[in-house]
């Protein structure tokens, strides 16, 4: 490995996390910096980057920090037991990826069918339009993040929609995704008027979904919007909605930055 290293700010940006999180990982002994510069800033070498990649993967699999520390413990991970634990974790991750791949394939087929029907002047088949859009797959995650009431409110809102209202809502989501990707690929600044206009539409969309902090009276809309932007980068499930031809998290990072500028200026 080379002798190159990166500052904590660079690593936070590249990994889609925060300097605060990295400092916490250092405080609990999970990811110590490779060196500390004369100005007190933490720096990380390639070996630390590899360890951070594994930490983020295990976090995505749902492991808590104490469990991750056990998996990465050299006294166990270097042996057969540790290798089996990592293999098991990767197998779980692979199964989740395949499940998500199947869901996305169903969504693609559903949307393609709707497009063909609209262009051909055919009657829409409501029972087929939402294949792959089952929001209940996020039930546990929503309840954990924002409480059972948040999920119950949003679930009641979704189920109370007519087929036409659901279709209109999905078109709104698709339009936002399309416009975000086009803006990111155009090379404009996230703080530009064009990007901020999309950010305003995005926030208006969020505030119209019951059960979210953005819709609750007195809720922390600013913190919620900024937090979601960070999640778009950190969570591949959401980042995929803003994937550009450049690949990676470029599109999601553009959305995150534009939402942060909008939130700090308007919320």
Question: In this predicted structure, what is the pLDDT of residue 87?
Answer: 63
For the chain, strand residue ranges (E) read 5-7, 35-36, 42-45
As a whole number of angstroms, the distance between CA 241 and CA 180 comes to: 9
Question: In this predicted structure, what is the pLDDT of residue 125?
Answer: 53
In the predicted model, residues of the chain with pLDDT beneath 70 are 1-3, 60-63, 74-107, 109-110, 113-114, 117, 122-151, 153-155, 157-158, 211-214, 216
pLDDT digits (tens, 9 = 90+) for 168-217: 777 788 788 889 999 999 989 999 999 999 999 999 988 877 766 667 67
- Give phi and psi for 73, each to the nearest 5: -60, 120
- Taking the chain, what is the end-to-end CA distance rounded to the nearest angstrom? 45
Question: In this predicted structure, what is the pLDDT of residue 151?
Answer: 60
As a whole number of angstroms, the distance between CA 28 and CA 71 comes to: 15
Question: In this predicted structure, what is the pLDDT of residue 74?
Answer: 62
* Both tokens assigned to 66: 């104490």
Question: In this predicted structure, what is the pLDDT of residue 79?
Answer: 45
Question: In this predicted structure, what is the pLDDT of residue 154?
Answer: 65
């Amino acid at each position: 490995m080379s002798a190159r290293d990166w500052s904590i700010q660079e690593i936070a940006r590249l990994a889609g996390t925060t300097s605060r999180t990295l400092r916490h990982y250092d405080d609990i002994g999970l990811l110590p910096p490779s060196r500390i510069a004369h100005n007190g800033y933490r720096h990380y070498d390639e070996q630390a980057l590899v360890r951070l990649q594994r930490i983020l993967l295990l976090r995505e699999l749902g492991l808590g920090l104490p469990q991750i520390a056990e998996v990465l413990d050299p006294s166990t991970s270097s042996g057969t037991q540790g290798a089996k634990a990592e293999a098991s974790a990767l197998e779980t991750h692979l199964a989740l990826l395949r499940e998500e791949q199947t869901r996305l394939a169903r969504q693609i087929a559903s949307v393609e069918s709707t497009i063909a029907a609209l262009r051909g002047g055919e009657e829409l088949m409501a029972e087929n339009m939402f294949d792959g859009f089952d929001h209940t797959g996020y039930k546990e995650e929503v309840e954990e993040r924002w409480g059972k009431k948040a999920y119950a409110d949003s679930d009641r809102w979704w189920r109370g929609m007519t087929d036409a209202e659901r279709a209109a809502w999905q078109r709104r989501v698709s339009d936002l995704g399309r416009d975000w990707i086009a803006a990111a690929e155009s090379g404009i600044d996230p703080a530009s008027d064009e990007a901020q206009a999309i950010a305003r539409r995005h926030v208006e969309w969020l505030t119209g979904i019951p059960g979210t902090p953005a819709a609750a009276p007195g809720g922390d809309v600013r913190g919620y919007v900024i937090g979601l932007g960070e999640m778009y980068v950190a969570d591949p499930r959401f980042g995929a909605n803003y994937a550009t031809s450049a690949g990676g998290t470029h599109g999601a990072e553009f959305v995150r930055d534009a939402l942060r500028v909008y939130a700090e200026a308007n919320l």
